[in-house]
Amino acid sequence: MRSLLYLFTALGVIALAAWAYRENHLTRQAMNERGALEREIVLLKQSISIQRTEWAYLNRPDRLRDLVDLNFERLRLVPITADHFGEIGTIAYPLPEARSEVVDTIETFGAIEHLMAHLDPQSEDP
User: What is the contact surface with other proteins in residues (CB under 8 A)?
Assistant: 38, 41-42, 45-46, 49-50, 52-53, 55-57, 59-62, 65, 79-85
Q: How far is the CB of 57 from other proteins (least distance, A)?
A: 4
76 residue type, one letter: R
Q: How far is the CB of 4 from other proteins (least distance, A)?
A: 26
Q: How far is the CB of 86 from other proteins (least distance, A)?
A: 10
Nearer to other proteins, 24 or 123 (CB): 24
22 to 9, 12, 15, 19: CA distances (angstroms): 20, 15, 11, 5
Beta-carbon-side half-sphere exposure of residue 56 (alpha carbons within 13 Å):
6
CA dihedral 109, 111, 113, 115 (to 10 degrees): -110
Nearer to other proteins, 59 or 71 (CB): 59
Nearer to other proteins, 62 or 97 (CB): 62
Nearer to other proteins, 42 or 77 (CB): 42
Distance CA(106)–CA(43), nearest Å, equals 49
